[in-house]
Structure 1
Amino acid sequence: MRVKAGLKRDDYTWRQIRPGLWQRDADEAEVFYSTLIKLYEGTGRMHFAITGHISLTIKVPDDESPEVVSKRLDDSLRIAWLRQRYETPTIASHVHYDALDGKWKKSYRTIPDDASTKAWLDKTFQVIKTGQTGEEWANSDPPAPNIATLFVVCPAATSSKEDPSTVRRDLILRSPHDIIDGIGTLQLLNSLVTKTAAAFREGDFFRELPIFDGSEASNLSPPYRVAANVPSVPTPEQQARLDAMASSITSPSQPPPNPDSQNETPPPMNIGIPHPLGPSYLHPGKHQRTSHFLSPSLTTSITTYLKTNHPGTTVTHLFHAAIALSLRNLPLTRTAAIAYQYPKPQPGSGQKVRYTNYLLRNERPSCLPPYDSPAHCVSVYHSLPASKLIVDMSSSLPPDGAERRKEYEEVLGKIRQFYEGVRDDKLHYALAPAIWKDWTPSLPEAVLKGEEKMEVPKPKEVPSVSISSMGVVDRVVGKWHDLGLDAGGEDGKEGKLEVHRPWVTGEELTNGLGVFLGTFDGVLELSCAYNETWHSKENVDNFLWDVERMVTSWVEGGSMEPK
């Protein structure tokens, strides 16, 4: 992005620039996501648009009416959404390009009267009565509004066995990624459910709050630079790292191998997820999500095995290693079922294959109080590493179980080492803004101003498979919430608000796969975001099964032979 002459220095402090309008400069992470929205605007969709999901049920006690409880829940959700705006007003902000200053800005407008409040609610609190579940609706190409919007999905009863006394609502948050990130979305949904339960219990007392008089602007969240107290002028140590990063980007790559040399091993061949090629596969279609659930017993077996035999190795390390090797195995095991655009290494050449990827790191622990808490969940507080993860593997499948287990553990060690290197890097928090800036594409001024649209980027030549870990989601999202109804039944759970299936994803408009990992209520969920232009649900599910089987076989002492 060009810097105009006389441009003022960046100002990341929220300021009231005129009555009712608060504004600050967007920081590097926010600009990255805003720029990608512009880059893919020609698709008619929003790249990396956040979709957050949570399902709510109430088993209505015998002395209560399901119809009455259902209406109370809907009213309470609406009140909770309004209160959420007061406590985390950044949810009503938006990022835009200011052509006059040549900068991206984040703006927030207050709602000074009842009419404005009602207009905002009518726009951002949408009830969906198509009969679909929240997950079905999320896969149906839902709108991606320019401002964060809560969709309350009312699923139809799909089975005669379904208990008619159970009230269910599925909540879907849709938002640009420059407003909120994945962990922040889960924190927001938990906060919203907590407020919904309070509104249900407390009735009119809760409904009197809040009063929108502009005071909510004091709760606006700063950008990551401010939240993490990143020095505006790098320290000498930080500057040395920044210089080294810049040098690694501009330094020439290794010279190509000499074709006349008979003894030189070819460089590793990059591998990605296979997909169809041709003129019909240039533009993205609908974003889709599919998920697999591991049984509670298998989930426990995996975590127990790691703690006992490989302390320090995480479930994320485990599945990331399985992703890399499953990609390698695909052309070796399914050549008859899928067309592969990647040439295979020549037998006997010794050439290896290379898996390249990156990781996203939650930076809330790097932030100062109170920005490290859910009070500032509506924020983009995560980072990319300064270097990519690179794993080189043999291009052939090891011949027996012992060799396959050994290979898996070698790949697992490389991935763990990479994760721990980022984790233990004391300078990383301060380098994050510069890394985001390096990853941000430069766009023409006319595109930034909205006067033109970019040509839709071509599919990636080597689309990789990434993994984002949500961790133990129970630490973020509470499962049970008291509604003040008399709990009944043998388990005492009647009359309480129960949370199911919390998840979050970013809209996938490329030909890669985005895998997500998280555990909730003792069940590990392995899910994947993909685009239907390049991938079918069947193929994505098969790939996830490959990954799961590899992990399970390793934990259970199996031969790890791919199917």
Structure 2
Amino acid sequence: MASPYANLVWHQTDPGVWQRSIDELEQFYATMVVLYEGSGRMFFGMTGHVSLNINVPSDKTPEQAGELVDQALGKAWLTLAHLHPTIGAQVTQVPETQEWVKTYRQFQEEADTRAWLDRTLVPVSTGQTGEEWANSDPPAPKLPTLFNIHVPAQESDNRDVHRDLVFRSPHDIIDGVGTLILLGNLIAHASRAYNEGDAYQVPAFDGSEIANLSPSYRIAANAPPELTKAQRERIEKMALQKAEAASPGDAEVLALPFRHGAVVPGRHQRAALALNKNQTSQLLALCKAAGATPTHVFHAAAAIVLRDVQDRPTEAKRVRYVNYILRNERASCDTPYSTAKHPAALYHSVSGQSLVVDMTLSAAGDAPDEVTRRQEFFDAVEVMKDFYQEVRNDQEHYALAPTMWAAATPQLPSSPRPLPVPPPNTRPAVSISSMGRTDTIIPPTTGNFNIRNPWVTGEELGNGLGLFLSTFDGELCLSAAYNDAWHTKADVSDYLDRCKEVVFNGLSIS
């Protein structure tokens, strides 16, 4: 009996050419790229960042050590091309059939290997840091690419080699958690290559790497090819709930204020707010005492702040925050797809039902007191706790995920290409992605490599805000991805500051 997923299995179509169809998760992101390609930018393109400091040995000059670090990064990147060959793959659409395929081309000879390395490991020496460079409208390559940013040394630490790594990739190849895993694996191999020197051997590209190509989510999670009648009815109920949530009769759905005028996206940007170790420690202790997580409290704050930045009405009115949550599905996948062996994949989902927080927007000149504000905060936190736990504990969610992705995927007309860029959303939203403790994925120290500031974002070409929450080495960071066609850094930084203020006031953090 033929496998229901035969089309999703990697198969050789020509000598050295391997292809498979894509599933609903991959098609969603591939579709969004086509929808916005007329802007010259890549919707949801992944950006991963990490800073490296390597102390220069006493028998080396900083220039010599820097060269060895760059050589080690090259060896590590080639090693990942063997261990995770899907970073060399590309999703395209067949013009005649409009079908999507993911294609991987083997390295047939040394020249292929060198060409791939030259194309996808790019040194950058602009005098900028990785963060500055990532905010300067960097290229959105069609193949996953690692940019090796040579950061000038400061006078106080001129015996260190500084490298910022910025990874850029289409989202139909890798997701956010996968990007962090990939960077963690890269650093581990680069550290080994740096320490071992000529003794470090890059695996041979002899065809054995084909076994490492990552499957689609449906295969990795062993998702059922067809839903049961009860599961289809659940999907229908979720769709009904989402429609009702977006059209409440007694409340106004909140929309993020934005600067009007632009009709096409500008530069994707990232702003960040970090808590120090003492603040983070207090926050974690108080969250635990409240039976909540940092994700619960900051998502509650994001909803409240969206309410707070609205223009005040003449009379108080009911308003509603409507959004969704993302769920990392690697725990739902079979071994080895649940492990760090398969970072270059899309193994995540969205909640099928809408997250709803109902609040009151007070009238102009009528500010709620501190007691009321704290109660609003804890009410919102309870909503978050219940919703996150409901999705987390849903034993069928992994099976429903592909169908939910399909429902969210826009239909693409066959022509013209490029398509007209969609206008800005009339009701832009604020979402949040929690990456958790990133130091469990990328340790702060690996051999001679000291690591700082790992983060990841998806290219924001809309007029909403995408918030990201993570903790690294005892310090929590709340960041935001936004587009400068509709928001300024001051606007976004103010939003992040307000979120912190809501959390600190709610939890009584000094």
The interval holding the TM-score normalised by the smaller chain is over 0.9
Which one is further off, 20-29 or 58-67?
58-67
1:327 is matched with 306
- CA positional deviation for 1:236: 4.3
1:319/1:62 CA distance change after superposition, 3 Å: same
1:19 is matched with 15
Q: What's the secondary structure of 1:62's corresponding residue?
A: coil
- CA positional deviation for 1:248: 5.6
1:15/1:242 CA distance change after superposition, 3 Å: same
1:138-537 equivalences under 5 Å are 138-157=134-153, 159-160=154-155, 162-207=156-201, 209-245=202-238, 267-278=250-261, 281-307=262-288, 309-311=289-291, 313-331=292-310, 345-347=313-315, 351-396=317-362, 399-446=368-415, 452-482=417-447, 496-537=448-489
- CA positional deviation for 1:533: 0.8
1:227/1:462 CA distance change after superposition, 3 Å: same
Deviations along 1:528-547, one digit per CA (max 9) or x if unpaired, are: 11111111111111111111
Q: Structure 2: how far apart are the matches of 1:461 and 1:242?
A: 26
1:536/1:243 CA distance change after superposition, 3 Å: closer
Q: Structure 1: how far apart are the matches of 2:245 and 2:273?
A: 43
1:553 is matched with 505
1:225/1:295 CA distance change after superposition, 3 Å: same
Q: Structure 1: how far apart are the matches of 2:507 and 2:181?
A: 32
Q: Structure 2: how far apart are the matches of 1:168 and 1:102?
A: 45
Deviations along 1:461-480, one digit per CA (max 9) or x if unpaired, are: 11111111110111111111
Contact 1:56-1:497 within 8 A present in 2 as well: yes
Contact 2:373-2:506 within 8 A present in 1 as well: no
Letter aligned with residue 310 of structure 1: A
Tell me, yes or no, if structure 1 residue 37 matches structure 2 residue 33: yes
- CA positional deviation for 1:246: 5.5
- CA positional deviation for 1:390: 1.3
- CA positional deviation for 1:249: 7.0
1:238/1:557 CA distance change after superposition, 3 Å: same
Q: What's the secondary structure of 2:405's corresponding residue?
A: helix
Contact 1:10-1:25 within 8 A present in 2 as well: no
Q: What's the secondary structure of 1:404's corresponding residue?
A: helix
Q: What's the secondary structure of 1:516's corresponding residue?
A: strand
Q: Structure 2: how far apart are the matches of 1:130 and 1:171?
A: 14
Contact 1:513-1:530 within 8 A present in 2 as well: yes
Selected match of 1:121 from 80, 103, 117: 117
Letter aligned with residue 41 of structure 1: E
- CA positional deviation for 1:132: 0.7
Deviations along 1:383-439, one digit per CA (max 9) or x if unpaired, are: 011111111101116632111111111111111111111111111000000000000
Letter aligned with residue 65 of structure 1: T
Q: What's the secondary structure of 2:415's corresponding residue?
A: helix
Q: What's the secondary structure of 2:73's corresponding residue?
A: helix
- CA positional deviation for 1:204: 2.1
Letter aligned with residue 423 of structure 2: K
Q: What's the secondary structure of 2:375's corresponding residue?
A: helix
1:263 is matched with none
- Report which of the two structures shows the higher radius of gyration computed on alpha carbons: 1
Deviations along 1:38-60, one digit per CA (max 9) or x if unpaired, are: 00011000001000001110122
State the TM-score, normalized to the length of structure 2. Answer: 0.95
Q: Structure 1: how far apart are the matches of 2:239 and 2:129?
A: 48
Query: Which runs of 5 or more structure 2 residues have no equivalent in the other structure?
Result: none
Q: Structure 2: how far apart are the matches of 1:557 and 1:100?
A: 60
- CA positional deviation for 1:230: 0.3
- CA positional deviation for 1:360: 1.0
1:107/1:310 CA distance change after superposition, 3 Å: same
Selected match of 2:490 from 509, 519, 538: 538
Deviations along 1:83-137, one digit per CA (max 9) or x if unpaired, are: 1000000000010112344321111000110011111111101000111110000
C-alpha RMSD of matched pairs (Å): 1.9
- CA positional deviation for 1:156: 2.0
Letter aligned with residue 308 of structure 2: N
Deviations along 1:492-543, one digit per CA (max 9) or x if unpaired, are: xxxx210110000011100101111100010001111111111111111111
Letter aligned with residue 239 of structure 1: R
State the TM-score, normalized to the length of structure 1. Answer: 0.86
Letter aligned with residue 36 of structure 1: M
Contact 1:49-1:506 within 8 A present in 2 as well: yes
Contact 1:54-1:499 within 8 A present in 2 as well: yes
- CA positional deviation for 1:63: 3.7
Contact 2:174-2:343 within 8 A present in 1 as well: yes
Tell me, yes or no, if structure 1 residue 89 matches structure 2 residue 72: no
Contact 2:242-2:353 within 8 A present in 1 as well: no
Deviations along 1:343-369, one digit per CA (max 9) or x if unpaired, are: x55515xx3011111111100000010
Q: Structure 2: how far apart are the matches of 1:243 and 1:508?
A: 30
